[in-house]
Amino acid sequence: MIEMRDVGFGYHGGAELLSGMTLSLQPGMFHFLTGPSGSGKTTLLRLCYADLLPTAGRMTAFGHELRDLSRDDIADLRRQVGVVHQDPQFLEHLAVAENVALPLTVAGEPVDMEALRDLLGWVQLAPQARALPPSLSGGERQRAALARAVILSPDLVLADEPTGNLDWEMSMRLMQLLIELNKSGKTVLVATHDLNLIRATKAQVTARVLRISGGSLHLAGADL
């Protein structure tokens, strides 16, 4: 799915923020990526959906070398990887339902209204379907972003600090949705610095925890 071999990355040709990263995301597995702020969690996720290219080493996504991808290939890759950002961006002039269905629209696929309603119901946003994004709360925006991320039924779902702006109850509701996705067979990678969230989630699902520190990646053990 995502394979990294001795991957390094530095912004604008500067010093390497990440170095010697070797990682294999196992299909169907729930992964956490943790580490202090500024350690490179977001950077590693951006590498996974080809928003950045590694400056060293080899990295493949779904069997394709990242550096060899054309711009259209990158677009295709992003249809296989759903991404939820800490501060998700929407097209503010479109309704929530239209924003959630946007990946289908840009992929030129028909929108199944029944399935869209089900999806909005799953993230508990059916009443807000016609609302505009600025009227949503932080938790609702995150759930709308999750619905948009999974509408194309991607194999991999990435979430970058998805609970960073949410209270505990709202965070657990969102994690519950990610757990359900994982149990339905999706591979999930969540970047977070919140160890309590990781512990609470691990109580419900088998999760692999990766820690970034000093620019390197380690498998976290029982110290969590």
SS3 7: strand
d(CA 1, CA 55): 20
SS3 208: strand
- Write down the least CB distance from residue 78 to other proteins, Å: 4
51 binds other proteins (CB under 8 A): yes
| One residue of 93, 183, 199, 218 binding other proteins per CB under 8 A | 93
CB 199 within 8 A of CB 23: no
Our CB check for other proteins shows the closer of 111 and 205 to be 111
Our CB check for other proteins shows the closer of 103 and 162 to be 103
Q: Comparing C-alpha atoms, which of 17, 23, 27 is closest to residue 4? A: 23
- Write down the least CB distance from residue 69 to other proteins, Å: 11
d(CA 129, CA 86): 21
- Write down the least CB distance from residue 144 to other proteins, Å: 13
9 binds other proteins (CB under 8 A): no
Both tokens of 128, joined, read 């807000």
**In angstroms, how far is the first alpha carbon of the chain from the final one?**
26
Window 52-91: contact mask with other proteins (x via CB under 8 A): x------------------xx-xxxxxx---x-----xxx
Q: What distances in angstroms separate CA 167 from CA 119, 164, 174, 199, one per listed residue? A: 23, 8, 11, 16
| One residue of 25, 50, 125, 191 binding other proteins per CB under 8 A | 50
Candidate ranges 27-35, 49-57, 119-127, 164-172; the one touching other proteins (CB under 8 A): 49-57
Binding footprint of other proteins on the chain (CB under 8 A): 49-52, 71-72, 74-79, 83, 89-94, 98, 102-103, 105-108, 148, 152
